[in-house]
Structure 1
Amino acid sequence: MLELNFADVLDTIDSVRTQLIALAIVLVVALVATAVVNKRTVRNAGVRKFAHAQTWIVAVIAAVVAVSTMLFGPLHTMLSLVSGSGTLSESTIAQAEDLAEDIESEGIVLLKNDDGALPLATEKVNVFGWASTNPIYGGTGSGSMNDQYPVTSILQGMAEAGIETNDELTDFYVDYRAERQVNTVAMQDWTLPEPTAESYPDELLSNAKDFSDMAVVVLGRTGGEGFDLPPNMADMGAVRQYGPAEGETTGPGEESDAVSVYHNNSADYNDFEEGEGYLDLSQTEENMLDLVTENFDNVVLVYNGANPMNLGFVDDYDEITSVLWAPPAGQTGFTALGEVLAGEVNPSGRATDTFVKDFTQTPWYNNFGQFQYDNMDEFSTVFSGSAGEVHPIPSFVNYVEGIYVGYKYYETAADEGAIDYDTVVQYPFGYGLSYTTFEQEMGEVSYAADGTISFDVTVTNTGDVIGKDVVEVFYNPPYANGGIEKASANLIDFAKTGELEPGESETVTIEFQDEDMASYDNDDARAYVLESGDYEISINADSHTVLDSRTVTVDETIVYSGENHRSSDQTEVTNQFDDIAPTFETLSRADQFANLAETTAAPSTYSMSDEHKAAFVNASNYENVNDENDEMPTTGADNGVSLYELYGKDYDDPLWDDLLDELTYDEMNTLIAFAGYGNAAVDSIDKPRQTDEDGPSTLNNSFTGIGSIGLPSGVSVANTFSKDLARQFGETIGDMAREMNVTGWYAPAMNIHRTPYAGRNFEYFSEDGVLSGIMAAQQVAGARSKGVYPFIKHFALNDQETNRLAMLCTWADEQTMREIYFKPFELAVKDGGATAVMTSFNYIGNRHSSADSALLNGVLRGEWGFRGFVETDYFGNGHGYKVGDQAIRSGNDAMLATIESVNVITDDSATSVIAMRTASHNILYTAVNSWLYENGQPTVETPAWQYVYYGAVAVIALALIGCETLAIKRFLARRKEAAAQPAATPAL
């Protein structure tokens, strides 16, 4: 989603331009008429005043008509959004708060715990680090928490767990800076407030040592919509300034209009030097750690953030005995952190991403961020944003690493001898410790004739503390040098036990299909292929540590093509994106990653190929192409079918044709073009307006400020490795949505953590597509069970924020798209039953995602069998590449817009109306299968603003009637008075 900015204000004004012109004309005419009357009735005051009254009464009536056409025309959708929503019951609030605590309890990851330093052996502890007073609860932009509800801070969570913290230290940090900076799409402040080591008074440290011999250090990192985290803090394009004062924007004698700023904490040194990124340790933080470890021998580090920080420095401090990763906890989840520290809860989270020691050694490092084409200037657009006038030029990002994303690269490269694993990776994907120990015993594997692979895993708590464990199942497929690209470690399933008492065991059953291990062959088979050979099936402690394994042998290669497609697919799966195949070489496992250095280098050219450029389309060169053979569908029929009658019926039920025939062109246009935050009322089919709301972990009405409880981040949910908690997450969102009169939820978001520096990683799940897809499917199924339709987003390859509105062309080969970036969406559709999809801001190759028929009709609807509607991400008029006409012809049914721009369908040809009818069918199919129609025809409630309007019009009407009556009475009285006066005698 996109926050509203000045461009939206200009678009809103432009949408009511006709009415504003009419108002201006009415005012001018009234003033001119007044002047003329004054001039021509100088000697007749009665006539003059009566004429004035009539002039301004008519002017007011005309103004009311103009305003009414604004309110019930261009502004109608927006005003309906402002009308508000329902409120949450106390029981639902309590349910959400309990779930937040449960998710964070299992989402906190214990990364280090030397000599059993945790849980805390003392009830008193010194908490260091400014972030301890201002933790990260969620993200920015659409991920923000709602300020209607209180939050539980880290320190409050510790207090609730019976841990006493040093108030003197807390006051010291609050006095340094009371609040965390507020980041928006328009303005990012990357400041990491932290008092310098020199600023700690000796008395403060002395008192701290007297208070407790135990120290906890909290470090925090945030992220959000619109900006990626700066990988080089010394080169952000902003003035780097000294000082923590809130609101300070320039250094002495300096001026800056930059949208990204950073304030150093000291005048004597830079917090970051050239090449150091936001996820590295700042100099002030390092100095603080030196100070703490010099004074305390037992230090617990708590990292609070969604993006894996470079924690390599931990190895430099023997005093740091324990490390906890506490991702954003929502509004009440930090209660769990106190419980984990105190030992009331045994941590059972697992890392959803790999923690690396040196970001420059990752395969994405040189191909993430700011890359603008040097031969696409003619496609640049102009719009006015909050940062001033912007001229976006198409940009690009190359997914040069192919399928080797996250752990799939590190594990495979290590197996091939291309990297030294221990010098690159600090904490593997799937890694996490416990206060107890577990043993996992893998049973024999069954490989049935129908392709089902199954086995049991018995988990036993071999320690002396109650706890939960995670069973992680990976496979290692046979690989032929130079053949289909395959990673040597691939997560395929997982399970989480219940709480196990010491000595207690639980057996979980793992089951999946052999086709799930097939690899996509771009080149020869142009299909999924399960190659013959030995497949190692293993249960792991993490992606790098195998606990036990079995071998499954596939006797003959299976090519899933033609009618022999995978059982989960609706049709044959074959290449859909040959025309946008990358022109660069992709990383290959061949010859032990022989092309690693060459392929992962920075782009060698900034020019789009002539072939791809010739097919590039944005608003500047798009034209409708109609089929003369298309026949105009029926519109405006009187068939007597109401939408509620289609509740629960199949997408292809014949009754749909009768209902769709009733729609008029204008009704379809409104339904399609103004789908921002809801879908429109349609009178002909008795459909009321329905509301959709944004927020990956909450429900936020951007227009009223009304929202729900904020749950922990997507990363927190994925860290739990609990399918049950993910399902409860969706169910709780559904419960809150019903009470708030909401039917659609703009989430879950499931793009891939291609890099830790991506700004929206907090709302996405993981670097792994299978983990992301399973969690997403559970959330979708949970919300749908409550009659709410989630919009799975952002489809697809929306894995960075930099240049997201600058026609960002994302290039990847088809295997990479299908195995990594499409996988979460595929599982959310097939296993979660998703019926709504939000496309992304970026282009897929040279085609915008909302105008990519191969993506939307070929893959989504064709191969996966999706039924429902597809909506754009925020439809900004000034973006220069979204066009409503183009979108509906490509499989994108609705525009996330509230004001009129190029979202409106302009073509009334048969080709266009057929596309409108299909889009309307898709929208209505999803809408009618929501909770709103469970009990038949919904009650239509008049929006609150209309009551205000009708009341105002009534008052104005009464006032005008009164004014007219008074004007007539006074005019008649003056005329009678004038008639009674004797005629003037002429002078002699």
Structure 2
Amino acid sequence: AFVNYVESIYVGYKFYETADDEGAIDYEATVQYPFGYGLSYTTFEQEMGDVTYADGTVSFDVTVTNTGDTAGKDVVEVYYNPPYTNGGIEKASANLVAFEKTELLEPGASETVSISFDDDDMASYDDQDAKAWVLEAGDYQVSINADSHTVLDEKTVTVDEDIVYNTEDNTHDGDAVPATNAFDADRGDVTYLSRADHFANREEALAAPTNYTLSDEYKAQFRNESNYDPAETNDDADEMPTTGAKGDVRLADLTGKEYDDPLWDELLDQLTFDEMDNLIANGGFGTQAIESIGKIQLTDVDGPASLNNNFTQVGSIGFPSSTSVACTWNKDLAKRFGEGIGDMAHDMHVAGWYAPAMNIHRNAFAGRTFEYFSEDGVLSAAMASQQVTGAESKGVYAFMKHFALNDQETNRLSMLCTWSTEQAIREIYLKPFEASVKDGGTGAVMSSFNYIGIEWAGSHSGLLNTVLRDEWGFRGMVLTDYFGGYGYMQADRAIRGGTDVMLATTDITNHITDKSATSMQAMRTATHNILYTAANSWLYADGEPAVEVPIWKTITYVVWGVTAVLFVGLEILAIKRFMDRKKATKA
């Protein structure tokens, strides 16, 4: 199966606002409720102060006044409209860049809200020429809006010259290394919507697909269970790592240490192939114990609006859906959501939370849209990263999911090839994940079922290694979505592409079969990533945790004990009655 993200960066309101500015649609007849629209029991007035642009930061104050007769809160929504060159880098004319929510304001009361954001938040990703993030020179209209369409006030920020974020000392948004194209092959043979000449190619780009066959070039590269061979990616230069070495390093010794601390190598040297394979292969709703290093079994449970243990049937209270949380535009509330999840995880003896889910509302009718925050990457990023921050503050590692481009449920298990431009991938679909790593400090990732181009997301090295780890600096484990095989999921393939652990509950293709040096190095890296997340969970905060007997085992032992006592008692009673009858017969 396949899906073409033909709209490119023009997702949701970004299309409607831009198309209106280009005269391509009748806005009033098309849009009933703009993005960011909301009602209140009172009325507000917002006044935008002078804008300062210095040292790469745009900042200003907004005075919000409650002009009604009922107490209430308001949201300051900040958008920018960048300079656009016809036929140049694709740009929407309305882009949410920042927002803040006021405290509760009584009638007549005012609050000064401070807004600040980096100029590179207004940069565009040029996937055709610079192959990097670019902030083009020109005038940027920065506005405060009632919604994406209704401008309350605006100021001009002028960028004097092009800024290209492509050097080690000038990366975009704090990237560890400069971002450059990682998804060229995933563009496919697709015509994408362009703003050029007032969306002149709109009819062609948005038409139903007519080609349902992969090109011969893509067919030759496509891999699934029927034709994947680990040997294709073996490197003869790889050296076999040490396994099974004698040592006394315990996992608790690594708690709080850097990912590249030399002690990790000593710990990893002690592990055997079987120990690593068991840890990697059997990661369904928790990670396995490794007795030799003091790694206890950890429990991870489903989300995103609660904690649900699918085996014990124990669950926490449920919170509102992610869409509801995003509708509040309240970052503090999102953080408290995550903190509440963290507290309940402690009550349930849970280490990891399969959430938050942060895919994009590309289609309002997608099967799990209610689990996701918004059609907008910035709003989604703020809500998701705050939930992650809240959970991580309690030592609970959050699995941001589904990484990435898993924006529909239809055909999700049918090797769904998702085609998109690199610009759209980076500007829209990856933004909440990026913020969850950089701002939220997430300790875990759940990848997705779909293919990106012709590579399964769970083995897409460009996504999981180049972007996630190299650019964003993520350290921790990547988990598959439910590991049902489905004709393409294979552990050998996964660990070579950047996945570490299989969300498997049965033995299928989740075990490592190749024992080459390349495979063993990938196993070692995957094991390192899993153990790094585990060592920094709340269960290791006070040293090596005691191995607790699960309650179900305790109950089982009690039942066995009571049964044994009853059995012995009945045996004694039966023998006594037999002896009494024997004596009576002799008498």
TM exceeding 0.5: yes
The 1-side partners of 2:415 and 2:17 are apart by 34
C-alpha offsets along residues 702-723 of structure 1, whole Å, 9 cap, x if unaligned?
Answer: 1221100000000010000000
User: Given residue 119 of structure 2, which amino acid in structure 1 is its aligned partner?
Assistant: D
Structure 2 equivalent of residue 582 of structure 1: 188
Task: Work out the CA distance in 1 between the residues paired with 2:261 and 2:564.
Answer: 49
Match in the other structure for 2:157: 552
Match in the other structure for 1:913: 520
**In structure 2, what is the equivalent of residue 518 of structure 1?**
123
1:828 and 1:761 map into 2 onto residues whose CA distance is 19
Structure-2 change in CA distance of 1:540 and 1:654 (3 Å) = same
Instruction: Give the alignment of 1:512-661 within 5 angstroms.
Output: 512-563=117-168, 564-625=170-231, 626-661=234-269
Choose the corresponding residue for 1:497, options 76, 99, 102. 102
Distance 1:960 1:737, change over 3 A: closer
Pairing 1:888–2:495 present: yes
Distance in 2, Cα, partners of 1:538 & 1:907: 57
Residues 1:819 and 2:424 are matched in the alignment: no
Q: Using the alignment, how far apart are the partners of 2:559 and 2:173 within structure 1? A: 61
* Equivalent residue runs for 1:163-202 within 5 Å: none
* CA deviation string 1:148-181 (max 9, x = no partner): xxxxxxxxxxxxxxxxxxxxxxxxxxxxxxxxxx
Structure 2 vs 1, CA of residues 657 and 483 (structure 1 numbering), >3 Å: closer, same or farther? same
Q: Distance in 2 between matches of 1:911 and 1:958?
A: 56
Measured against aligned partners, the alpha-carbon deviations of 1:367-397 in whole angstroms (never above 9, x if no partner) come to: xxxxxxxxxxxxxxxxxxxxxxxxxxxx000
Residue in 2 aligned with 1:676? Answer: 284
3-state SS of paired residue (1:426): coil
- Residue 945 to residue 503, structure 1, CA distance change in 2 (3 Å): closer
In the TM superposition, what is the alpha-carbon distance from 1:471 to its structure 2 partner? 0.2
Q: CA RMSD in A?
A: 1.8
Distance 1:732 1:957 in 2: 43
Within 2, Cα distance between the matches of 1:737 and 1:829? 21
CA–CA separation in structure 1 for the residues paired with 2:308 and 2:137: 50
Matched, 1:783 2:413: no
Would you say 1:461 and 2:69 are equivalent positions? Answer: no
Counterpart residue number, 1:696: 304
State how far apart, in whole Å, the 1-side matches of 2:107 and 2:158 are: 37
State whether residues 388 and 441 of structure 2, in contact with CA within 8 Å, keep that contact through their aligned partners in structure 1: yes
Q: Tell me the CA shift for residue 629 of structure 1.
A: 2.3
Specify the alignment match of 1:409 in structure 2: 15
1:438 maps to 2:71: no
Q: Is the 8 A contact 2:377 2:431 kept in 1?
A: yes
Tell me the residue number matched to 1:936. 543
Question: How far 1:581 sits from its partner (Å)?
Answer: 2.1
Q: Residue 810 of structure 1 contacts residue 844 of structure 1 at CA under 8 Å; is this kept in 2?
A: yes
Q: Report the residue type matching 1:490 in the other structure.
A: N
Match of 1:902 in 2: 509
2:585 counterpart residue number: none
Which secondary structure state, in structure 2, belongs to the residue aligned with residue 409 of structure 1?
Answer: helix
- Residues 722-770 of structure 1: per-residue CA shift (max 9 Å, x gap): 0000000000000000110001000000000001111101010000011
**Matches of residues 833-852 of structure 1 in structure 2 within 5 Å?**
833-852=441-460
Please tell me whether the aligned partners of residues 121 and 173 of structure 2 are also in contact (alpha carbons under 8 angstroms). no
- Structure 2 matches for 1:948-963, cutoff 5 A? none
Deviation at 1:567, TM superposition (A): 4.4
Question: SS where residue 549 of structure 1 aligns?
Answer: strand
Q: CA deviation at 1:638?
A: 2.4
1:468–1:498: 8 Å Cα contact kept in structure 2? yes
Q: What percentage of residue pairs aligned between the two structures are identical? A: 67
Separation in structure 1 between the aligned mates of residue 112 and residue 377 of structure 2, nearest angstrom: 26
- CA offset at residue 628 of structure 1? 2.4
5+ residue gaps, structure 1, are 1-394, 963-988
Deviations along 1:942-976, whole A, 9 cap, x unmatched? 234545676788899999999xxxxxxxxxxxxxx
1:917, distance to aligned residue in structure 2 (A): 0.8
1:6-21 to structure 2, matched below 5 A, reads: none
Structure 2 length-normalised TM: 0.94
Q: Secondary structure at the match of 1:475?
A: strand
- Cα deviations by residue, 1:193-236 (Å, 9 ceiling, x for unpaired): xxxxxxxxxxxxxxxxxxxxxxxxxxxxxxxxxxxxxxxxxxxx
Correspondent of 1:856 among 464, 471, 474:
464
Measured against aligned partners, the alpha-carbon deviations of 1:37-95 in whole angstroms (never above 9, x if no partner) come to xxxxxxxxxxxxxxxxxxxxxxxxxxxxxxxxxxxxxxxxxxxxxxxxxxxxxxxxxxx
1:831 deviates by 0.8
Superposition pairs of residues 154-165 of structure 1, within 5 angstroms: none
Q: CA deviation at 1:909?
A: 1.9
Contact 1:875–1:903 (8 Å) recurs in 2? yes
Q: Confirm or deny that 1:426 pairs with 2:2.
A: no
User: Could you say which residue in structure 1 is the equivalent of 2:92?
Assistant: 487
Distance 2:247 2:240 in 1: 18
Count of matched residue positions in the alignment of Structure 1 and Structure 2 = 566
Q: Note the C-alpha offset of 1:660.
A: 1.1
Which amino acid in 2 is paired with 1:790?
A: A
Would you say 1:923 and 2:522 are equivalent positions? Answer: no
Corresponding letter in the other structure for 2:428? I
CA contact (8 A) 2:182 2:462 kept: yes
Aligned equivalents of 1:910 and 1:955: distance in 2? 52
Q: Partner of 1:701: helix, strand, or coil?
A: coil
Tell me if the contact between 2:448 and 2:457 (Cα under 8 Å) persists in the aligned partners: yes
* Amino acid of the structure 2 residue aligned with 1:576: A
Q: d(CA) in 1 for partners of 2:555 and 2:236?
A: 49
**Partner of residue 577, structure 2:** none
Which shows bigger deviation, 603-612 or 464-473? 603-612
What amino acid does structure 2 have at the position aligned with 1:598? E
CA contact (8 A) 1:885 1:912 kept: yes
Query: What secondary structure, in the 3-state scheme, does the structure 2 residue paired with 1:488 have?
Result: coil
CA deviation vs aligned residue, 1:301-321 (integer Å, no higher than 9, x gap): xxxxxxxxxxxxxxxxxxxxx
> Does the 8 Å contact 1:580/1:612 carry over to 2?
no
476 and 671 in structure 1: CA distance in 2 versus 1, 3 angstrom threshold: same
CA apart distance, 1:908: 1.8
C-alpha distance in 1, partners of 2:51/2:320?
Answer: 37
Residue 774 (structure 1) aligned with residue 379 (structure 2): no
Contact kept? 1:807, 1:881, Cα under 8 Å? yes
Report the 3-state secondary structure (helix = DSSP H, G, I; strand = E; otherwise coil) of the residue aligned with 1:939: coil
Do the aligned partners of 1:772 and 1:824 also contact (CA within 8 Å) in 2? yes
Give the TM-score taking structure 1 as reference length. 0.56
Residues 270-314 of structure 1 deviation map (CA, whole Å, 9 limit, x = unaligned): xxxxxxxxxxxxxxxxxxxxxxxxxxxxxxxxxxxxxxxxxxxxx
Give, in whole Å, the separation in 2 of the partners of 1:960 and 1:427.
Answer: 72
1:939 shift after superposition: 1.3
Q: Distance in 2 between matches of 1:602 and 1:937?
A: 58
> Given that residues 305 and 320 in structure 2 are in contact (C-alpha distance below 8 angstroms), is that contact kept between their aligned partners in structure 1?
yes
Map of 2:475 onto structure 1: 867
Partner of 1:240: none
Separation in 2, partners of 1:467, 1:960: 69
The answer to whether residue 439 in structure 2 is matched with residue 831 in structure 1 is yes
Structure 2 partner of 1:665: 273
Distance, in Å, in 2 between the alignment partners of 1:811 and 1:909 is: 33
Paired letter, 1:610 = D
Amino acid at match of 1:925: Y
